[in-house]
Chains A and B, each alone.
Chain A
Amino acid sequence: MTKSIIGLKNVTFGYSQNAVIENLSFSIEQGQFVAMTGENGAAKTTAMKLLVGLLKPWKGLRQWPSHLRVSYVPQQISSIEQDFPSTVFEFIVSGLWESKKWYQRISKDDKKRAREMIDRFELQSVVNQPIGKLSGGQKQKACVARAFMSNPDILLLDEPTTGMDEKTRHMFYKIVKSMCPQVTIVMITHHIHELNPYIDQIIHLERRHEPCLN
């Protein structure tokens, strides 16, 4: 039986005294590909931020072993400025910095891995272009490729397919799925019908904030 590694237990949270999440509980097992769904305003992003520790719950517990390495790709991250001084290659390699000390150099093997990641996400044609000048979908792919570079145990993706067409989305799901079970992946999405063949679990958040686990 696989072990549950992360989750929330009876968590309540809100903004300015208004609770947007009440008694939310779910657990995620190691190596799973989990989709988090729900209508707009169902506090999916808030739930993810609580899970990753960016927000502190008013009540309840967060289950998160301290040794786990995590990467997070927030919503609308593709709004990287046009003049952001980085090529796509540099940007993806920068994901490695999170797992290295300031004095550790980027080795040839690291660069080779970055190139493999670029190939996997089909970004070869834009590898030397400024990251800020890519299309929204390409930026999203670059952000996720960057997140994988830090060798995370858990990857949290908040609507990463925004700006991608259907074909690209399916390619994206396949790549992400291929990273499991080495990486546990939690993805917020509105395209649950498309994602169904790839995922192991759905966490559905209702506006009343009680999850139904499938």
Chain B
Amino acid sequence: MFELAFMQRALLAGMLIAVIAPIIGVFLIMRKQSLIADTLSHIALAGVAVGLVLGRSPEWMSVMIVVLGSLLIEFLRFRFKSYSDVSIAIMMAAGLSIALCLMSISPSGTKTMNQYLFGSIVTVTQHQINVFFLVTIGIFIYFAVTKRSLYTMIFNEDVARVAGISTKILSFSFSAVIGLLISMMIPMIGMLLVSAIIILPAAIAIQLTSRFRFVFIIATLVSIVCTFLGLVSSYKIGTPPGASIALWMVFGVLLTLLYKKAKELLFKRMGE
């Protein structure tokens, strides 16, 4: 099956997503912002709709709008400091309602909307892969430089500020990076499942280890295995690739929870 050019491209794109998405997922879970990925995917849809109505490239318009949206979420988070979830609720509602209204105006709205709602990694072009490769490298460099500062900021913002870290710049740049990655992932994975692909491997890894470095390694491995299994099963059974990958990840979460429960029971029995 991997001798087919479209499957090779799908595998390549899938692996790029598998190595970069879990890194963001770990930090999002640590910051208790798992829902932000979902919100940004709603905003991406609004970006696509704006592109369609204005007759511009929906892809680039969604990148622009998502990055702007992520910055706006961060701004609202600062405004509603004690109720930071409010910013997510506001932006999710704004993104989806703008998207739905504008799509209804655009003649090709519904067709394009379906494309972005469900995505398809098997239709990815070489050009998309090249752009995504560059974005992945950029995001890697960003995390290599900011990993320690992000850790300190997530631990405690005041501690980070006293240590000389500009928490506002760091928060805004982190949000912009999430926005950029999500908008690049949506045409391949689909708006509805993009947050699952980012969050689930990280959620599994956090359950399996408490070592900071290992969390990233395990999350990436889980993501690579699930992406591979998802693509293979999608090809064999004919299921949508994005949904197949996400299903394997959900299965991974269930397995992890079962493993933890079994381990707990075993320790309990050994203690008796």
Interface size on B, residues (CB 8 A): 28
Partner of B155, one of A80, A83, A129, A130: A80
Given A77-B156, A85-B215, A86-B211, is A150 in contact with B148 using a C-beta cutoff of 8 Å? Answer: no
How distant is B248 from chain A, measured CB to nearest CB, in Å? 23
Complex Cα gap A84–B144 (Å): 20
Interface contact A53-B30, CB-CB below 8 Å: no
Interface contact A102-B159, CB-CB below 8 Å: no
B239 interface hit (Cβ, 8 Å):
no
In the bound complex, residues from chain B placing their C-beta under 8 Å from that of A98 are: 152, 163-164
Against A, the Cβ 8 Å flags (1 = close, 0 = not) of B173-213 are 00000000000000000000000000000000110011111
In the bound complex, residues from chain A placing their C-beta under 8 Å from that of B158 are: 49, 54, 72, 74
Complex Cα gap A150–B156 (Å): 16
Interface contact B162-A86, CB-CB below 8 Å: no
B81 interface hit (Cβ, 8 Å):
no
In the bound complex, residues from chain A placing their C-beta under 8 Å from that of B215 are: 85
Partner of A85, one of B144, B147, B152, B210: B210
Complex Cα gap A49–B164 (Å): 14
How distant is A90 from chain B, measured CB to nearest CB, in Å? 5
Complex Cα gap A103–B158 (Å): 24
Partner of A54, one of B147, B155, B162, B211: B162
A71 interface hit (Cβ, 8 Å):
yes
How distant is B86 from chain A, measured CB to nearest CB, in Å? 20
Complex Cα gap A52–B164 (Å): 11
B4 interface hit (Cβ, 8 Å):
no
Interface contact A102-B146, CB-CB below 8 Å: yes
In the bound complex, residues from chain A placing their C-beta under 8 Å from that of B164 are: 98
Complex Cα gap A72–B164 (Å): 11
B151 interface hit (Cβ, 8 Å):
yes
In the bound complex, residues from chain A placing their C-beta under 8 Å from that of B155 are: 80, 84, 94
Dominant secondary structure of chain B at its interface with chain A: helix
A201 interface hit (Cβ, 8 Å):
no
Against A, the Cβ 8 Å flags (1 = close, 0 = not) of B137-175 are 000000011111101100110110111100000000000
A97 interface hit (Cβ, 8 Å):
yes
Given A53-B162, A74-B158, is A94 in contact with B210 using a C-beta cutoff of 8 Å? Answer: no
Given A90-B211, A94-B151, A102-B146, is A85 in contact with B26 using a C-beta cutoff of 8 Å? Answer: yes
In the bound complex, residues from chain A placing their C-beta under 8 Å from that of B211 are: 85-87, 90
Partner of B162, one of A70, A80, A100: A70
Given A85-B209, A94-B152, A130-B210, is A72 in contact with B26 using a C-beta cutoff of 8 Å? Answer: no
In the bound complex, residues from chain A placing their C-beta under 8 Å from that of B145 are: 102
In the bound complex, residues from chain B placing their C-beta under 8 Å from that of A74 are: 156, 158-159
Against B, the Cβ 8 Å flags (1 = close, 0 = not) of A83-110 are 1111100100010011010100000000
In the bound complex, residues from chain A placing their C-beta under 8 Å from that of B152 are: 94, 97-98
How distant is B85 from chain A, measured CB to nearest CB, in Å? 16
In the complex, which residues 99-155 of chain A have their Cβ closer than 8 Å to any Cβ of chain B?
Answer: 100, 102, 129-133, 150
Interface contact B163-A102, CB-CB below 8 Å: no
In the bound complex, residues from chain B placing their C-beta under 8 Å from that of A54 are: 158, 161-162
Interface contact B212-A86, CB-CB below 8 Å: yes
In the bound complex, residues from chain B placing their C-beta under 8 Å from that of A94 are: 148, 151-152, 155
In the bound complex, residues from chain B placing their C-beta under 8 Å from that of A80 are: 155
A42 interface hit (Cβ, 8 Å):
no
Interface contact A85-B30, CB-CB below 8 Å: yes
A73 interface hit (Cβ, 8 Å):
yes
Complex Cα gap A154–B33 (Å): 33
How distant is A156 from chain B, measured CB to nearest CB, in Å? 8
Interface contact B147-A102, CB-CB below 8 Å: yes
Partner of A150, one of B163, B206, B212: B163
Q: Which residues of A contact B (CB under 8 A)?
A: 49, 52-54, 70-74, 77, 80-81, 83-87, 90, 94, 97-98, 100, 102, 129-133, 150, 156
Top 3 closest pairs, chain A to chain B, by CB: A130-B210, A72-B162, A97-B148
Q: List 30 A-B residue pairs with CB atoms under 8 Å apart, sorted by A's residue number.
A: A53-B162, A54-B162, A71-B159, A71-B162, A71-B163, A72-B158, A72-B162, A73-B159, A77-B156, A77-B159, A80-B155, A81-B32, A84-B30, A85-B205, A85-B212, A87-B210, A87-B212, A97-B149, A97-B152, A98-B152, A98-B163, A98-B164, A102-B145, A102-B146, A102-B147, A102-B148, A102-B149, A129-B210, A131-B210, A133-B210
